């Protein structure tokens, strides 16, 4: 079936969230559902991502189904990582469930794993799918910001501010680990925003030695310091970094704090709610226009479409201007 036929043939869309959850996913679900209804489409919510698709766990979505959720973290459709969908048999089952439920197009909200699965699904079954970038990691190509990133940053900033109070009172050095399995983007921005003395991210290959050199210059200083380490940094995590620091500078009162999954929860910020709303509307409109196999993002305030295969390319470089700011301001 060609793209033009899909334009006129979409009567029912399915929406699902997949992979790690992110604040703002509910706002995105709401936008997709209400835009679908606005254009007289039927909308099905698919529970637990590809897992629920395979199991036929579909629920009809009405205006009210998405009432009172714009402010809630997590995802009302729940989420999962599906091993079965990685198999041809699993994807065949998912396709059959879509046919059985008369779903003829999909909006997938998730990250790189979600879009990798969607790409293969399109190749095999020619199902129109558009994607929304839902991950706190901000590590997708084709959007300035992903859904959940801004909220996660604000959560980190709030936590670091609190840690700074106690660090300051005790003249302690705190090594704080933030999320980002393959990416330092949470560490980079939250580090700037919290006034960290040093930031360790995989993209800049910051190793423990560079931190030691930095601490050397203020060797006698027992003033409190905040060091932000990305989970995915090559340095081996906050506990390893702290061990090395303690060995070299035993006079420093060093503590570790791993912020963990609090970064994935909480009410989405206004920025995330607006981003999710814009992207959700565009995803449905773009399906109706015959687009498929692309992630909808916003670059410099404008909607952009990026093929899934390009969206999932890992971002290996950080904005050099931001890194320069780190160097200037952390002196
Ligand atoms: O959502 C992305 C992410 O937060 C990564 O930064 C982190 O490594 C991962 O999810 C952890 O997810 P989970 O605990 O669900 O496996």
- Report pLDDT digits (tens) over 291-307: 999 999 999 999 999 99
Which of 137, 147, 190, 265 maximizes ligand 1 atoms within 8 Å of its Cβ, making it the mutation to test the pocket? 137
Tell me how far apart the terminal alpha carbons of the chain are, to the nearest angstrom. 60
Q: Are 23 and 294 in contact (CB under 8 A)?
A: no
The CATH number of residue 36's host domain is 3.40.50.450
| Confidence label for 312 from pLDDT (cuts 50, 70 and 90) | very high
pLDDT given for residue 3 in this prediction:
45
Ligand 1 centroid distance, CA of 261 (Å)? 8
The alpha carbon of 325 and the centre of ligand 1 are apart by a number of angstroms equal to 27
Whether residue 278 has pLDDT greater than 80: yes
Atom 10 (ligand 1) nearest CA: 20
Point out the domain boundary residue: 264, 291, 321: 264
Pairwise pLDDT comparison (6 vs 68), residue with the higher score: 68
For residue range 171-181, list pLDDT tens digits in order: 999 999 999 98
Nearest CA to ligand 1 atom 1: 20
Cα(220) to ligand 1 centroid in Å equals 38
**What pLDDT does residue 23 have?**
98
* Whether 137 is catalytic: yes
244 with 285, same domain?
no
The verdict on 141 and 284 lying in the same domain is yes
- HSE on the CB side for 17, CA within 13 Å? 25
Tell whether ligand 1 has an atom less than 6 A from the beta carbon of residue 203.
no
Whether residue 97 has its Cβ less than 6 Å from ligand 1 = no
Q: Left (φ > 0), alpha (ψ -120 to 50) or beta: where does 207 sit?
A: beta
9 & 113 share domain: yes
Q: Separation of 238 CA from ligand 1 center, angstroms?
A: 16
Q: Does the CB atom of residue 20 touch ligand 1 within 6 A? A: yes
Task: Please report the pLDDT score of residue 4 as a whole number.
Answer: 45
Domain-located, residue 319: no
pTM for the complete prediction? Answer: 0.95
Residue 134 lies in a domain: yes
The verdict on 205 and 159 lying in the same domain is yes
Q: What is the mean pLDDT of residues 217-242?
A: 85
Q: What is the DSSP string of 137-152?
A: T---TT-SS-BTHHHH
Same domain, 183 and 122: no
318 assigned to some structural domain = no
**Is 236 found in the same domain as 291?**
no
Answer yes or no: are the C-beta atoms of 186 and 199 closer than 8 Å: no
In-domain check, residue 172? yes
pLDDT at position 220 is 56
Q: Where are the strands (E) in 280-327, listed by range?
A: 294-299, 302-307
Query: What is the percent of the chain with per-residue pLDDT over 90, rounded to a whole number?
Result: 89
CA 301 to chain centre: 19
Calpha distance 288→178 (Å, rounded)? 39
- Answer yes or no: are the C-beta atoms of 70 and 25 closer than 8 Å: no
Same domain, 220 and 82: no
Mean pLDDT calculated for residue range 2-30: 85
CA distance linking residue 184 with residue 233, whole number of Å = 7
| pLDDT band, very low/low/confident/very high, at 218 (cuts 50, 70, 90) | low
Whether 47 and 106 share a structural domain = yes
Give the per-residue pLDDT at 124.
98
Report the percentage of the chain scoring pLDDT > 70. 96
pLDDT mean over 210-228 = 83
Q: Which helix (H) or strand (E) holds 12?
A: strand 12-17
Q: Atom 12 in ligand 1: which residue has the minimum CA distance?
A: 20
Q: Tell me, what's the pLDDT at 2?
A: 42
pLDDT score of 313 more than 50 = yes
Q: Which atom of ligand 1 is nearest to the CA of 264?
A: 4
The answer to whether residue 170 is domain-embedded is yes
**How high is the pLDDT of residue 315?**
79
Smallest CA separation from ligand 1 atom 8, residue: 181
* Domain shared by 239 and 131, yes or no: no
Q: In this structure, is residue 331 part of a structural domain?
A: no
Number of domains in the chain: 2
Distance of CA 113 to the CA centre of its chain: 11
3 state DSSP class of 73? coil
Q: What average pLDDT does range 206-216 have in this prediction?
A: 90
Residue 5 has pLDDT above 80, yes or no: no
Domain boundaries, position 208: 151-264
126 CA to middle of ligand 1, Å? 30
| 8: pLDDT strictly greater than 70 | no
Q: Domain for residue 157, yes or no?
A: yes
Tell me, using a 6 A CB cutoff, whether residue 152 lines ligand 1.
Answer: no
Report the nearest-CA residue for atom 9 of ligand 1.
Answer: 181
What's the pLDDT score for residue 219? Answer: 55
In a domain, residue 125? The reply is yes
Identify the residue whose tokens are 């059959």: 96
Report residue 236's pLDDT band, with 50, 70 and 90 as the boundaries: confident
- Specify whether 298 is located in the same domain as 252: no
83 and 16 together in one domain: yes
What is the C-alpha separation between 285 and 291, in angstroms, rounded?
9
Q: What is the mean pLDDT of the chain?
A: 94
Strand-by-strand arrangement of the 12-17 sheet: 58-60, 42-46, 12-17, 105-110, 129-133, 294-299, 302-307
137, 139, 233, 272: the catalytic one is 137
Q: Based on the domain organization, do 15 and 112 belong to the same domain?
A: yes
Please work out whether the CB of residue 17 comes within 6 Å of at least one atom of ligand 1. no
């Amino acid at each position: 079936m060609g793209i033009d036929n899909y334009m006129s043939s979409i009567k029912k869309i399915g929406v699902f969230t997949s992979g790690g959850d992110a604040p703002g996913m509910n706002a995105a679900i709401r936008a997709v559902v209400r835009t679908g209804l606005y254009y007289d489409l039927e909308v099905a919510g698919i529970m637990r991502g590809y897992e629920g698709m395979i199991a036929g766990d579909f629920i009809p979505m009405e205006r009210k189904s998405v009432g009172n959720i714009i402010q809630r973290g997590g995802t009302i459709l729940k989420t999962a990582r599906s091993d079965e969908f990685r198999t041809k048999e699993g994807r065949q089952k998912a396709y059959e469930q879509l046919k059985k439920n008369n779903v003829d197009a999909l909006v997938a909200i998730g990250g790189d794993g979600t879009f990798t699965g969607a790409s293969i699904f399109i190749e095999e079954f020619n199902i129109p799918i558009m994607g929304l970038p839902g991950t706190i990691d901000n590590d997708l190509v084709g959007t300035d910001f992903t859904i959940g990133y801004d909220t996660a940053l604000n959560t980190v900033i709030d936590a670091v501010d609190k840690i700074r109070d106690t660090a300051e009172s005790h003249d302690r050095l705190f090594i704080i680990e933030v999320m980002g399995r393959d990416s330092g983007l949470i560490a980079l921005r939250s580090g700037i925003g919290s006034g960290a003395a040093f930031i360790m991210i995989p993209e800049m290959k910051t190793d423990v030695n560079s931190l030691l050199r930095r601490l050397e210059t203020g060797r006698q200083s027992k003033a409190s310091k905040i060091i932000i380490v990305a989970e995915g940094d090559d340095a081996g995590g906050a506990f390893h970094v702290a061990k090395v620091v303690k060995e070299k500078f035993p006079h420093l009162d060093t503590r570790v704090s791993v912020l963990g999954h609090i970064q994935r929860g909480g009410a989405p910020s206004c920025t995330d709610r607006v981003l999710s709303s814009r992207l959700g509307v565009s995803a449905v409109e773009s399906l109706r226009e015959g687009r498929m196999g692309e992630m909808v993002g916003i670059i410099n305030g404008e909607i952009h479409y990026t093929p899934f295969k390009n969206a999932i390319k890992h971002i290996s470089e950080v904005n050099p201007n931001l890194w320069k700011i780190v160097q200037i301001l952390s002196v």
